[in-house]
Structure 1
Amino acid sequence: MNKREKLNRISLILLSLFVVMLGYGILLPTLPYYTERLALKDNLDTDLINFHIGLLTSIYPFFQLLFVVVWGKLSDKYGRKPIIIIGLIGFVIMQLLTGLATSLTMLYTARIFGGIFTSSVIPVSNAYLSDITSEKRRTKVMAWSGVAISTGVIFGPVIGGLLSQTDIHLEYSLGLLHLDRFSVPFLFASLLGFIVLLIISKWLKNTAKVIKFNTEKRSLRFSFSKYFIIILMISFVMQFVVTLFETVFSIYGKDELAFNSNQVGIGFMICGSVMAILQPVFASYGEKVLSAKKQIILGLLISGISLIAFPFFKNEFLVYGLIVVFAAGGAMVTPNLLSAVSLISQENTGRNISIQSSTNSIGQILGPIIGTWLVAAGFYYPFIIAGSVILISIGFVLPSMKLKDTLT
């Protein structure tokens, strides 16, 4: 394919990643307030509300974990496009159910449904990008994937905050469905997802070859080499910490810092902005200064220290500043890990990226649950423990890494 066609395909994939993460971003600052509104109908106390916040956050990646490898294998066999389309359909339905929820049960149903189907979008989209790019340019393209994801997280909280403002007077009920100001951002995300679904269906070409599943033990051993396992361990630590931070920060901002949903949303917007700006910078120019391995070490160090310091500062601007530092560390780590996984095996790229996504999902499951559990003991504990986990991962994981050429 020529350069223009390749650029068009990359743009379409980035669009699908953006809209899915936009929906994710919309929920980040609003989930504590939205859950509280639904939970108060059942007269739940603060600890139970926080428990539901953590569980609602965790149940989504839990079902992603159950299905993501299935989608990866299907995409290797049937091509990337059909699986991406299925994921976008699931995204649209999930946003509709969330926006019209009248109870915690409906909210759980929406999260479960979304976890099952949207688990295909990010790993399969990244596999598509890997299919159409050379090894030399893969890190840069994966960094742009990170930019699309981060950009969704940037605009999602802003849209969620603006569209759910109290000056929007809207309320309508129809049976079990309820429409009010909290519904608007999710309905907007559903509509946007439907538009992107139509665009992808019409314009995106299915490039992945149909290949047979390789059931030989040799292939399995190759995929789960020591190199791959260590990459998965680092991915797990980062996702565990990031989702713990996302869940606890929204509760911490609401209860400890007395932030409203807009202020919490600004924090997530800053985090996403830094990731979106710095990921392509590190991917394009980072290795001219530091090797990818050293970037990962430095990124983990920066993120760990910033999290440990986080609960000791109450000033709004200092809090935002620490978020900048934390996000900068993550921006050093993420694209290098994703690029490393995509280079392990060209034949099984979809499966390997899906396995990494599954590992990420385990971290995303445990992070919110452990984070909200630690909140009950005090807001210092989740941040300090999460930061310590990152620092420990440097000492136990990275010195033993015998990385391939891309990370040496």
Structure 2
Amino acid sequence: MPTKSAFPFLLTYMFLAMLGIGLVIPILPELLIDFGAGGKAAGYLVSAFGLTQFLFSPIAGEFSDKYGRKPMIVVGLCLFVISNLLAAAADDFSLFLVSRLIGGMGSAAMVPSIMAYVVDITTEEQRPRAMSFLGASMSSGFIIGPGLGGLLAEFGTRAPFFASASIGLLAVICCIPLLPESQSGEVRLMHLKSKPKKENIFRQLAQSVKSHYFILLLMIFAITFGLTHFEAIYPLFVTQSYGFTTRDISILFMVCSLIGTFNQLMLTNRLTQRFGEKPIISSMLLLSAVSLVFLLFSGNFFYVMVITMLFFTFNNILRPTINTLLSKEAGNEQGFVAGLNNAYMSLGQIFGPVLAGWLFDIHINLPYLFGAVVLLVSSFVSVKWVGIKNGVIPQENRRVKDQAL
């Protein structure tokens, strides 16, 4: 059994997996000019990553149970490198789109395996803190990607992809000799011999609706939808509404992501210990919705920075909290449930950017208003679910019960 010395590697790999999603966002305007593509193409490029991540996540989760966590992580890192090299060399829109599809496959291989690996090496008491750090790494990759992409783009629009590929290659070289396998041979053999009935991803999604952890998966979709909805049109929104430059956008993403990650590490464990996971989920969803609306009120740079930082903080606290609950519900199928987790996250990555781009063409404020509605509805659903799961009696029923007594 590996020790927790493997944990820093896992955090790095998770960061890389999420980094590839947002790296392209700040340089989309330049890329679209290079390819002679229109505005809708921006949403397709951001969503393409999530599409293959969605299709391959459950398969990768099952393979990590059968063949081990480490092989799937190595495969994912290799695909990450190939994706970035292809993006750096692409001279037309179609080839660049293919690179994004390959990147999604790499993320699908890595994310469920890393999450299952963390469950393998932690006890139930240690898991909330471990998931908090893993969630910080995941969210930071989401958020730092656009900021890093904008800063590196000053050396050329392809510089971010060459840099990312180099880091990915170094990660592969380190992973093969240094990362031990977390799952015993006996457990892998048991999964190999079980030969469960194969279900395609769409049937698995349909069946997940009836599962006891469906609401948690729905929350994963909601927060990913909200975050990618936010990120996809953020550069266009602040440029057209407030006149921000690419450098301004990069500074906003970098500063806000660092503060948001620090807040997450400082607050997540304390909040969950004091209030429990379920109330934190509903309240963070509500606050995320409010912050989206407040972004529309002013173009002052520092005001926008504060609102952006708050939005990132709320999302950073949400993700590990939900992941902790999911790991408790998964039992012996950590890889499979982690695959479903990644699939719902991928659905958010698919629909969030595409819909944001379409709504942006209708009215510049619509994407954030609609994203706020999605998060608000999710918060209400979460509140109801918390009451049911905790056995809370509605006020009206309580009065009836008191009168009867």
Name the TM-score, length of structure 2 as normaliser. 0.87
Counterpart for residue 378 of structure 2 = 393
Unaligned runs of 5+ in 1: 169-180
In the aligned structure 1, how far is the partner of 2:98 from the partner of 2:207?
38
Give structure 2 stretches of 5+ with no counterpart.
Answer: 199-203, 392-405
1:203 pairs, out of 178, 182, 188, with 178
Tell me how far 1:150 sits from its aligned partner: 3.4
Q: CA deviation at 1:295?
A: 1.0
The answer to whether the Cα contact below 8 Å between 1:247 and 1:371 also exists between their aligned partners in 2 is yes
Amino acid at match of 1:108: L
Identity %: 27
| CA–CA separation in structure 2 for the residues paired with 1:335 and 1:272 | 16
Q: In the alignment, is the contact (CA less than 8 A) between 1:61 and 1:115 conserved in 2?
A: yes
Paired residues of 2:277 and 2:325 also in contact (CA < 8 A): no
Question: Alignment partner of 2:47: what SS?
Answer: helix
| Structure-2 change in CA distance of 1:152 and 1:330 (3 Å) | closer
The letter for the 2-side match of 1:164 is A
Quote how far apart the aligned CAs of 1:31 are.
Answer: 2.4
Q: Contact 2:87–2:99 (CA<8 Å) still a contact in 1?
A: yes
Q: 1:222–1:281: structure 2 CA closer, same or farther, 3 Å change rule?
A: farther
The residue aligned with 1:147 is: 136
AA aligned opposite 2:178: W
1:28 touches 1:265 (CA, 8 Å); kept in 2? no
Partner of 2:82: 93
More helix per residue: 2
Tell me which residue corresponds to 1:118.
107
Name the stretch that deviates more: 344-353 or 155-164. 155-164
Contact 1:146-1:276 at 8 Å conserved across structures: no
Aligned length: 378
Alignment of 1:319-398 (within 5 A): 319-398=304-383
Partner of residue 31, structure 1: 28
Query: Aligned match of 1:296 in 267, 273, 281?
Result: 281
In structure 2, the partner of 1:18 is 15
Where do 1:160-175 residues align within 5 Å?
Answer: 160-165=149-154, 168=155
SS of residue matched to 2:368: helix
Work out whether 1:193 is the aligned partner of 2:150: no
The corresponding residue for 1:250 is: 235
Determine the structure 1 residue equivalent to 2:116. Answer: 127
CA offsets 1:79-137 (integer angstroms, 9 cap, x no match): 10000100000000000011111111111111112112321112211111111111111
Deviations 1:301-333 (A, max 9, x none): 111111112122211211111111212221331
What is the CA–CA distance in structure 1 between the aligned matches of 2:20 and 2:346, rounded to whole Å? 17
Contact 2:257 2:309 in 1 (8 A): no
Partner of 1:175: none
> How does the TM-score come out when normalised to structure 1?
0.86
Q: What displacement does 1:404 show?
A: 7.8
Distance 1:134 1:286 in 2: 20
Distance 1:261 1:153 in 2: 18
Residues 76 and 280 of structure 1: CA distance in aligned 2, closer, same or farther (over 3 Å): same
Aligned match of 2:3: 6
Aligned residues of 1:16 and 1:196 also touching (Cα < 8 A) = yes
Distance 1:216 1:87, change over 3 A: closer
Deviations 1:238-279 (A, max 9, x none): 111111111011221333333222222222223422332122
RMSD (CA atoms)? 2.3
